[in-house]
Amino acid sequence: MKTSSQLVKELREKTGVGIMDCKNALQEADGDINKAIDILRKKGIAKSQKREGRATSEGQIQSYIHMGGKIGVLVEVNCETDFTAKTEDFTNFAKDLSMQIAAANPVAISPEAIPVETLEREKEIYKAQALESGKPEKVVEKIIDGKLKKFYSEVCLLEQAYIKDPDKTINNLLDELKAKTGENIQIRRFARYQLGEDAEKK
């Protein structure tokens, strides 16, 4: 089914959950926003997102150097307390993120961080491809949504499959850490450097 952007927006405002999780929950709930909220709560996502408004002034900056110095990554992860910042779980999460960024080369942290003009360009390309292949107009929108989801899973850090466990996304890992620590945790920014290329700063 097609999920209206207005419903997605409303669910995001009520739960603070990311676009893709909201879309998936609404599709699972056949467009029923209350059922979608329940689905997100059962998954533990909405509960962890209630912490989003809390200040994150502590955390860590982790680095990772790969391929004998040919790829380097810096990532900043924030949390609420110095106590959590020093835990093994938090440190391992930050280290795993730096390795993920080195291996998977994301261009943004989340879909929301991708410029609108980039998304519009992608949509135009997907639409042209679908029409060129003879797909009827009524299914083109569905094809575009599917291709956008794949695009996000490739270029957005939170939507990427975790390199150590492809059944999980980085967002899943983040939610698990939030649930375990009881704190608001944010991936603030990252930079990936590759020898011979311009630095990609987020």
156 vs 134, higher pLDDT = 156
pLDDT at 137: 77
The three-class DSSP label of residue 78 is strand
CA distance 136 to 138: 6
Q: In this model, does residue 87 exceed pLDDT 90?
A: yes
Q: Name the amino acid, one letter, at 34.
A: N
Q: Is 55-110+156-201 in CATH node 3.40.1280.10? A: no
Q: Where exactly does CATH 1.10.286 map onto the chain?
A: 115-154
pTM comes to: 0.67
CA angle 35, 14, 122 (to 5 degrees): 90
Q: In this model, does residue 48 exceed pLDDT 60?
A: no
* Tokens describing residue 156: 């957005």
The architecture in CATH of the region 115-154 reads Orthogonal Bundle (1.10)
Report the residue count for the chain: 202
Q: Where exactly does CATH 1.10.8.10 map onto the chain?
A: 5-51
Q: Is 5-51 in CATH node 1.10.8.10? A: yes
Mean pLDDT highest for which of 6-20, 91-105, 109-123, 187-201?
Answer: 91-105
The three-class DSSP label of residue 30 is coil
CA within 13 Å, CB half, 103: 11
CA distance 96 to 83: 20
Reported confidence tier of residue 50, pLDDT bands at 50, 70, 90: low
Q: In this model, does residue 173 exceed pLDDT 90?
A: yes
Q: Where exactly does CATH 3.30.479.20 map onto the chain?
A: 55-110+156-201
Least confident window among 30-44, 49-63, 178-192: 49-63
119: how many CB neighbours lie within 10 A of its CB?
A: 14
The three-class DSSP label of residue 42 is helix
CA nearest to 110, candidates 78, 76, 157 = 157
* Tokens describing residue 166: 């492809």
